[in-house]
Amino acid sequence: MLESFVDSLKYDDNGLITAVVQDHENGDVLMVAYMNREAVSRTLTSGRTCFWSRSRQKFWVKGETSGNVQVVKGVYFDCDKDCLLVKIEQTGAACHKGYRTCFFRQVDSDGSETTVLDPLSEAY
């Protein structure tokens, strides 16, 4: 049944699906990443977020090296089955730059950028 669900998702030409990662308690979007079939399956079965790194071209488990793990609380899919919403409990920083969320900067109407959060830790 799991394999049937994983195969029913609509992946892009590179075999990836977008995964929006959200704090399950307050709804904050913490990061956006990509999953291949293996990552979707392992996320669902392990209870930890697993992704495909487009830059490194390899599978990774969030927090495996940093200790900033994400415990899966629920996985949802959109009406087209081409995007996932993963609700998680975050330990430490979600962003590899040390911020709670990857969305720690804001752009104004004139194009100026402002950092709106303080980092939780050093970049890793």
Amino acid at 19: A
- pLDDT(57) > 90: yes
Residue 12 lies in a domain: yes
Whether the Cβ atoms of residue 94 and residue 31 lie closer than 8 Å to each other: yes
39 phi-psi bin (left φ>0, alpha ψ -120 to 50, beta other):
alpha
The three-state secondary structure class of 116 is coil
Please count the structural domains in the chain.
1
- Long-range contact pairs involving 47-52 (C-beta distance under 8 Å, separation at least 24): 47/71, 47/72, 48/72, 49/19, 49/21, 49/86, 49/88, 51/19, 52/16
pTM, to two decimals: 0.92
The CATH number of whichever domain residue 61 belongs to comes to 3.10.20.810
pLDDT band at 122 (very low <50, low <70, confident <90, very high): low
Quote the domain boundaries for residue 90: 2-94
Residue 83 lies in a domain: yes
pLDDT band at 56 (very low <50, low <70, confident <90, very high): very high
pLDDT (tens digit per residue) in 15-48: 999 999 999 999 999 999 999 999 999 999 999 9
